[in-house]
Amino acid sequence: MTIALGEIATRFGCEIAGDPRIAIKSVAALSNASEGTISFFANTAHISALKSTGASAVILRRGDVDQCPVNALISSNPYLTYARVAELLHPDPVFDPGIHRSATIHETAVIHKTAHVAANVFIDADCIIDEGAYVGPGAVVGPRCHIGELSRILANVTVVQDVTIGKRSIVHPGAVIGSDGFGNAMSDSGWVKVRQIGGVKIGDDVEIGCNTTIDRGAIGDTIIENGVRLDNLIQIAHNVHIGEHTAMAGMTGIAGSAIIGKRCLFAGRAGSVGHVTICDDVIVSASSYISKDIKEPGVYTGSFPAEKDKIWKRKAARFRRIDDMVLRISELEKKRE
Amino acid sequence: MTIALGEIATRFGCEIAGDPRIAIKSVAALSNASEGTISFFANTAHISALKSTGASAVILRRGDVDQCPVNALISSNPYLTYARVAELLHPDPVFDPGIHRSATIHETAVIHKTAHVAANVFIDADCIIDEGAYVGPGAVVGPRCHIGELSRILANVTVVQDVTIGKRSIVHPGAVIGSDGFGNAMSDSGWVKVRQIGGVKIGDDVEIGCNTTIDRGAIGDTIIENGVRLDNLIQIAHNVHIGEHTAMAGMTGIAGSAIIGKRCLFAGRAGSVGHVTICDDVIVSASSYISKDIKEPGVYTGSFPAEKDKIWKRKAARFRRIDDMVLRISELEKKRE
Amino acid sequence: MTIALGEIATRFGCEIAGDPRIAIKSVAALSNASEGTISFFANTAHISALKSTGASAVILRRGDVDQCPVNALISSNPYLTYARVAELLHPDPVFDPGIHRSATIHETAVIHKTAHVAANVFIDADCIIDEGAYVGPGAVVGPRCHIGELSRILANVTVVQDVTIGKRSIVHPGAVIGSDGFGNAMSDSGWVKVRQIGGVKIGDDVEIGCNTTIDRGAIGDTIIENGVRLDNLIQIAHNVHIGEHTAMAGMTGIAGSAIIGKRCLFAGRAGSVGHVTICDDVIVSASSYISKDIKEPGVYTGSFPAEKDKIWKRKAARFRRIDDMVLRISELEKKRE
């Protein structure tokens, strides 16, 4: 798609500093842009890339216009405007409606005539696949699942059973949704499996990353509210409840029955133990985990970044003798008196 | 299935405080139960849910009967009894025997006539699928694998090669069992792959979570003994040996050749380095890893839960100067003398 | 395959201490070897296994020949020589060329006549599958992907789109390559997905573990150079660049736009935050993560191994009061003056 800069400006309510007639075909990074591309500048760390950019236009804040050697599209939130421009220039692929001849569909499943069911898909009993939904190659949708309008279940995903997915949600390849939670009761002769009989309810505009796993509830449902974003290789255990617009980066893990608020952010490999309640607007730092209820919004951290091994080992050795340090201080205080 | 409370009591050797004739159809959580359901009470934190429960019956300890507003099923281990009642009321789905027309089965594979092989399955040479076993849609079973009686390999699982799985075991969607371990020898021109020629031996009554990976041995087998429970997204490296009834929560990682005892518990994101031996009955806390042999049962921990970032950062800064603290203490001690 | 020890020695330029005529059929571990096998000894921890080995020959350093009770193959790097011998004795399985009748291939895809495309594969538009390449059962190769000569995409892998894989590379089951990176811009009404339009470029002789995920670039490509080794359940975010021969053990996570040097080693569950540059020859210890640019080769660590919970908890409590310790030291210093 090619579109004039002026039309982009009109569409997204931005001002232009430069020529509205130039043609834009694609987005690009500042440092690797060529004619016909539009880039964005939001972080002063990239100022030299801005100054030497080959892009035909750059989305940036009003205060940065003077630094921009090319046409500027002025936005109070350049990254958000960039997201919208990228969506316009690079729309989702369009899928032909229909069911691939190699797909196997249970006779009780209802597939909307505008939905696309790809090769080697298996859809089980009592499923509903709504208008414009997409089920990718190799995906398996188990019994009693509902895939909402325009949602996309990508390649090799498994939606196990009793899963409801809202509208416009995306499940990336390899994810598994609705599998049994980890429930075991110890008996004299070993573990007895605790039947998991709940489901999973996923809202609208949710995105679930590759190979992420979301278990169904033990009793009752695991719930992912509207607008939640989960990256790759995340584990969401049974009966977890994640509030609207919370985003979790790769490898985050949430243990069973944790209740996570709205608009929380979990950095990479963050997590939470089970059976805790975390309020809205909590940020958990990389490699840190929450161990108890959190009632105040803010940033929470509990990890040490790596440093030179020799230095770390010396400190760690000191830490192992921290008791001794405290004793020595007490001893000094006693003598002092 | 509907069953009288009295019959449940008889079947599991429990006493009843209440009416044995009431009909039970389903299990439910205390706080979300309706007529015809049975719940359990094992944790005093849920006492108010017990007092207001809508369940028709509750499984609980004798000492808690007085608190129970409805019929009680008395058990010394309510959670275990609950597990057994849930199993009775919510039995596994029954699968029709047979091989789906879209499955591809190697001519040398032997599939028992009572086994179920689902859509788009591929089963390779010299495999044996035993009585009542289930191979789910999209699953791949590579050469020389044996799936034991009543075991279930669920959707999109890959059993790579030379894998033996015992009876009544369950492998959840997306898991990969029997892939090459991570073996590399450095040469002048880069890594040389070290051929992995072992297999994986999995016992009876084992459960393996979604997207969990278990590598085959480099030489000799990786071994998962009877009754082991592995949650989702776990990594078990080559030649690991896991003892009976050990349970590992999500995201646990065990490095190569580690030997883990019986009845160990690994909390979420716990783990172990390779080539260590961990005795029976060891509990590893969340986000903690074992770095050397463990010879004494007990709980082992090495992680800090998150706290407010500002407070954590101040402490972490102090920790970075711990050397300095020790020096200052020594200095004070010297002056003291 | 059976081969004389003398021929192995000739092929790999090793000396023999013993009988060159003995027949070698297979590799084995020292402690579990029988006649006709060859093992290796490289770690003095296994000296008693060497002394009692049942192997017909052992690969070891010249200085260890005297300890060896059987025929010895002398090598300056026994593990590397072992890797090459194992490769010789246990060659990769040979696949018949051809496309399985159950595979679905887009009409614009070009599959070399010597390539093997297994059951239930789906290959999309504009793909190229080169000479001798292998695409395993259930694998999905999305649009515009190129699988190089002799590379192997194993069972249930998803190669999403715009992915180029070089020669002789292996992608293990369940891995997902080329999926959207985690890009989201916050708007007044929640997250807006930031279109990911880059691809993934993977070099020659790369190995990618089971259920590992490698995202495509947001703009521009995610790059994995020649000879890189990635173990299972690893997350490589968008626009990461990994230098030649870097190896990462299981569960490592690399956040977006991180640039990792050549010959780096990441131990299990290691990682890096995004937007940092790590120089060549850096080793990151188990469960440790890099938080800023690293300019000096060497070992970097930031984790504590688990110890007895009671002892750890006491130290952790001391750590929580580290501010107080510093105050008490300052107080003592003041009084001293």
Per residue, the 3-state secondary structure of chain A, as one string, reads: CCEEHHHHHHHHCCEEECCCCCEECEECCHHHCCCCEEEECCCHHHHHHHHCCCCCEEEECHHHHHHCCCEEEECCCHHHHHHHHHHHHCCCCCCCCEECCCCEECCCCEECCCCEECCCCEECCCCEECCCCEECCCCEECCCCEECCCCEECCCCEECCCEEECCCCEECCCCEEEECCCCEEEECCEEEECCCCCCEEECCCCEECCCCEEECCCCCCEEECCCCEECCCCEECCCCEECCCCEECCCCEECCCCEECCCCEECCCCEECCCCEECCCEEECCCCEECCCECCCEEEECCCCCEEHHHHHHHHHHHHCHHHHHHHHHHHHHHHC
Could you tell me how many CB contacts below 8 A there are between chain A and chain C?
A: 217
Residue C314 has what pLDDT?
A: 94
What order of strands is seen across the sheet that includes strand C158-159? C104-105, C122-123, C140-141, C158-159, C176-179, C213-215, C235-236, C253-254, C271-272, C289-290
Please tell me whether residues C104 and C182 are part of one structural domain. Answer: yes
C 277-296 residues inside an 8 A Cβ radius of A: 283-285, 288-292, 296
Q: A128 and A174, same structural domain?
A: yes
Identity of the residue in C28, C83, C305 whose CB atom sits nearest the CB atom of B219: C28
Of the residues B121, B195, B266, the best mutation for testing chain C's interface (the one with the most C CB atoms within 10 Å of its CB) is: B195
Q: Check A116, A238, A241, A245 and give the catalytic one.
A: A238
Chain A residues in contact with B155 by the CB 8 A cut-off are: 122, 140, 142, 158, 160
d(CA A230, CA A232) in angstroms, rounded, equals 7
b/e code A286-295 from CB counts within 10 Å (16+ = b): bbbbbbeebe
Tell if the CB–CB gap between A207 and C220 is shorter than 8 Å.
Answer: no
Residues C154 and C232 in one domain: yes
Return the DSSP state at B76: S
CA distances, C293 to each of B321, C265, C269, C272, C287 (Å): 21, 16, 19, 10, 18
pLDDT value at position B249?
98
Question: Does the structure show a pLDDT above 70 at A57?
Answer: yes
CA torsion B210→C209→B202→C34, rounded to 10°? 180
C171 pLDDT more than 90: yes
Query: 3-state DSSP call for residue C44?
Result: helix
Helix axes A322-336, C322-336, angle to 10 degrees: 30
Residues in chain B: 337
Interface of B with A in 295-314 (CB under 8 A): 303-310, 312-313
Domain residues for A337?
Answer: 309-337
Q: Return the residue in B96, B134, B251 with the most chain A beta carbons within 10 A, the one to mutate for interface testing.
A: B251
Residues C185 and C240 grouped into a single domain: yes
Best mutation target, A232, A266, A325, A328, to test chain C (most C CBs within 10 A): A232
- CATH number at C258 reads 2.160.10.10
* Residues A309, C299: C-beta atoms closer than 8 Å: yes
Report yes or no: C336 at the B interface, CB cutoff 8 Å: yes
Per DSSP, the residues of B139-171 read -EE-TT-EE-TT-EE-TT-EE-SSEEE-SS-EE
Per the CB < 8 A criterion, the answer to whether A170 and A154 are in contact is yes
- C164 plus C236 within the same structural domain: yes
At A115 the pLDDT is 98
How many interchain CB pairs under 8 A, B with C? 218
Residue of B nearest to A124 (CA): B137
pLDDT at A59 over 70: yes
Say yes or no: A195 and A288 in one domain.
yes
What distance in Å separates the CA atoms of residue C35 and residue C57, rounded to the nearest whole number? 9
Q: Which residue of chain A is at minimal alpha-carbon distance from C255?
A: A268
Q: Where are the alpha helices (DSSP H) in B201-308?
A: none
What stretch of H or E contains C141?
Answer: strand C140-141
Residue B6: φ, ψ to 5°: -60, -40
pLDDT tens-digit profile, chain B (337 residues): 899 999 999 999 999 999 999 999 999 999 989 999 999 999 999 999 999 999 999 999 999 999 999 999 999 999 999 999 999 999 988 899 999 999 999 999 999 999 999 999 999 999 999 999 999 999 999 999 999 999 999 999 999 999 999 999 999 999 999 999 999 999 999 999 999 999 999 999 999 999 999 999 999 999 999 999 999 999 999 999 999 999 999 999 999 999 999 999 999 999 999 999 999 999 999 999 999 999 999 999 999 999 999 999 999 999 999 989 999 999 888 887 6
> Would the pLDDT of A40 be above 90?
yes
Instruction: Report helix angle B322-336 to A322-336, nearest 10.
Output: 30
How many pairs of residues across A and B have Cβ atoms under 8 Å apart? Answer: 218
Partners of B289 in the β-ladder: B271
Q: Give the model's pLDDT for residue C337.
A: 64
Q: Do C203 and C273 share a domain, yes or no? A: yes
pLDDT confidence tier of residue C227, bands split at 50, 70 and 90: very high
| Chain-centroid distance, C-alpha C154 | 15
Q: Does C138 touch chain B (CB under 8 A)?
A: yes
The DSSP output letter for B294 is: B
Q: Would you say residue A336 has pLDDT above 90?
A: no
Arithmetic mean of pLDDT over chain A: 96
Nearest CB partner across the interface for A193, out of B83, B250, B322: B83
* Tally of structural domains, chain C: 3
The answer to whether residues B258 and B243 touch, using CB atoms and an 8 Å cutoff, is no
* SS3 (DSSP) at C96: coil
CB neighbour list of residue A337: distance below 8 Å, 6 or more residues apart:
none
Q: How far is A275 from chain B (nearest CA, A)?
A: 11
Query: Is the minimum CB–CB distance between A82 and chain C shorter than 8 Å?
Result: yes
Token output for A164 = 């409801």
Q: What is the pLDDT of residues A181-204, one digit of tens each?
A: 999 999 999 999 999 999 999 999
Pick from C156, C235, C302: CB nearest A305: C302
Is there a catalytic annotation at residue B238? yes
Question: C310: distance to nearest CA of chain B, Å?
Answer: 8
Residue at which a domain ends, from A89, A121, A137: A89
User: Has residue A278 got a pLDDT over 80?
Assistant: yes
Q: Is the pLDDT of residue C23 over 90?
A: yes
Alpha helices in C229-336 (DSSP H): 309-320, 322-336
d(CA A231, CA A229): 7
Q: The CATH number of the domain where B65 resides is what?
A: 3.40.1390.10
C85 plus C106 within the same structural domain: no
Nearest CA in chain C to A231: C182
Per residue in A291-315, pLDDT (tens digit) is 999 999 999 999 999 999 999 999 9
**What SS3 string covers B163-215?**
EEECCCCEECCCCEEEECCCCEEEECCEEEECCCCCCEEECCCCEECCCCEEE
Whether B140 sits inside 8 A of C173 (CB atoms) is yes
Of A89-98, B311-320, C285-294, the range with the highest mean pLDDT is C285-294
Q: Is B173 in contact with A140 (CB distance < 8 Å)?
A: yes
Chain A neighbors of B27, CB-CB under 8 A: 195, 197, 219
**Chain-chain contact of A315 with B304 (C-beta, under 8 angstroms):** no
Angular region, B162: left φ>0, alpha ψ -120 to 50, beta rest:
left
Residues on chain B touching A187 (C-beta within 8 angstroms): 77, 80
How is residue C43 written in tokens? Answer: 């770690």
Å between C335 CA and nearest CA of chain A: 8
Closest CA to C26 of C5, C11, C6, C12: C5
Whole-angstrom distance, CA of residue B284 vs CA of residue B300: 5
Task: Indicate which residue of C238, C241, C245, C275 is catalytic.
Answer: C238
Write out the two tokens for B221: 């087998």
Which of A83, A245, A249 is the closest to C182 by Cβ? A249
A335 pLDDT band (50/70/90 cuts)?
confident
Query: Residue A191 and residue B245: Cβ atoms within 8 Å?
Result: yes
C167 touches chain B (CB under 8 A): no
Taking the Cβ of residue A152 and every Cβ of chain C, the question of whether any pair is shorter than 8 Å is answered with no
List the one residue out of A295, A250, B157 whose CA is nearest residue C269. Answer: A250
Give the rounded percent of residues in chain A with a pLDDT score beyond 70.
99
Q: What average pLDDT does the segment A243-247 reach? A: 98
Tell which B residues from 198 to 257 touch A, by Cβ distance under 8 Å. 205, 207, 209-211, 226-227, 229, 231-233, 244-245, 247, 249-251
One domain, residues B333 and B278: no
Q: Is the pLDDT of residue C113 over 90?
A: yes
Whether C156 has its CB under 8 Å from any CB of chain A: the answer is yes
Helix (H/G/I), strand (E/B), else coil: C86: helix
State how far the alpha carbon of A308 is from the alpha carbons of A212, A315, B47, B321, C301, in Å.
Answer: 33, 11, 51, 14, 6
**Measured between CA atoms, how close is A288 to chain B, in angstroms?**
6
CA distance to partner chain A, nearest, from residue B245 (Å): 6
ipTM given for this complex: 0.96
Q: How confident is the model at residue A64 (pLDDT cuts 50, 70, 90)?
A: very high
Specify whether C59 is located in the same domain as C129: no
Neighbouring subunits of C (3+ Cβ pairs under 8 A): A, B
What percent of chain C clears pLDDT 90, i.e. is strictly above it?
Answer: 93
Whether A187 and A132 map to the same domain: the answer is yes
Interface test with C, best of B122, B283, B293, B318 (most C CBs within 10 A): B122
Task: Provide long-range contacts, Cβ within 8 A and 24+ apart, for B296-299.
Answer: B296/C308, B298/C308, B298/C309, B299/C308, B299/C309, B299/C310
Residue A273 near residue A291 (C-beta atoms within 8 A):
yes
Same structural domain for residues B234 and B295? Answer: yes
Mean pLDDT within C300-304: 97
Which chain A residues are within 8 Å of B233, Cβ to Cβ? 211, 213, 233, 235, 253
Residue where a domain terminates, one of B56, B89, B122: B89
Interchain CB contact of C184 with B (< 8 Å): no
Tell me what pLDDT residue C1 has: 81
Q: For the segment C115-160, what is each residue's pLDDT rounded down to a tens digit?
A: 999 999 999 999 999 999 999 999 999 999 999 999 999 999 999 9
Helices (H), C162-252: none
Task: Sort strands A71-74 and A23-24 into parallel, antiparallel or unpaired.
Answer: unpaired
Last residue of a domain, one of B71, B89, B107: B89
Q: Does A100 touch chain B (CB under 8 A)?
A: no
Mutate to test the interface with A, among B99, B287, B321, B335 (most CBs of A within 10 A): B287
